[in-house]
Homo-oligomer: A and B are copies of this chain.
Amino acid sequence: MRVTPTSNAAAHTADCVIFGFADKELRVLLVRRAVEPFADEWVLPGGAMGSDETLEATARRVLLDMVGVKNIFLQQVATYSEPDRHPVRRVVTTSYYALVKPHQHTPVARGHASDASWHPVANVPPLGFDHHRILVDAHDRLTWHLRTRPLAFDLLPERFTLTEAQRLYEDIIGEPLDKRNFRRKIQNYDFLVETKEKRSGVKGGPLLYRIDRERFSAALSYPR
């Protein structure tokens, strides 16, 4: 259906900015379009909202299809509604971001995509549509959330030291953090559980921590 200029109807899509952290580098999952418009160009994975589906459900469906990820923290970022953002018809899109471990999630190109792969956020190819702006906004939001929310704990191994947690945050945010402030902040998290074990191989080594999953989920959902 081609929308006529006088119609207010617009298709609605969800676009996913799937961040993955690996080898000290923040990456984003991109797909190469197999169809027009923007054929052969890289874009964010996305899909059209179904008639009985919320936008978040659409985003979760895209995530499951692309990288087989379920039950992950998904954050709505923004809605883009410029009348000419899609060259063929009017499409309003809502973006979501997620943060995953790339080595656990091999992307699969499906549907309108001929390729799917992880790209360093610091060095992405040109993107079709307004997806560069959507990526930049989602990255800004992720960085901002990381300062106030324990998002990145999901990327740590089962047991970790506080120094490892700080390094991870610094690598993702891209700047050093004050050790005392960092520790004071994260030690307020009730999901952080001291294991009584120490890092093996290091004499008198640092204590290991783990995450209480239930409390962690609660911590992620507030504040928005």
Q: Which residues of A contact B (CB under 8 A)?
A: 1, 5-12, 48-56, 76, 78-79, 81-83, 90, 92, 94, 137, 140-141, 144, 148, 223-224
Contacts and interface: CB of A to CB of B under 8 A. Distances in A.
Given A12-B92, A140-B224, 19 more contacts: A5-B51, A5-B52, A6-B51, A8-B12, A8-B48, A8-B49, A8-B51, A51-B90, A52-B83, A53-B83, A54-B81, A54-B83, A55-B81, A55-B92, A76-B78, A76-B79, A79-B94, A141-B224, A144-B223
A189 to B, nearest CB: 18
B81 A12 contact: yes
Contacts of A224: 137, 140-141, 144
24 contacts: A6-B51, A8-B11, A8-B12, A8-B50, A9-B10, A9-B11, A10-B12, A10-B49, A12-B12, A12-B81, A12-B92, A49-B81, A51-B83, A53-B83, A54-B81, A55-B92, A79-B79, A79-B94, A81-B94, A92-B92, A137-B224, A144-B148, A144-B223, A144-B224
Nearest to A9: B9
Count identical subunits in the complex. Answer: 2
A45 to B, nearest CB: 18
A64 to B, nearest CB: 18
A51 B7 contact: yes
A51 B10 CA distance: 9
Interface-central residue, A49, A90, A148, A224, by most chain B CB under 10 Å = A224
A25 to B, nearest CB: 22
Contacts of A1: 9
Contacts of A56: 81
Contacts of A148: 144
A9 B141 CA distance: 29
Contacts of A52: 5, 83
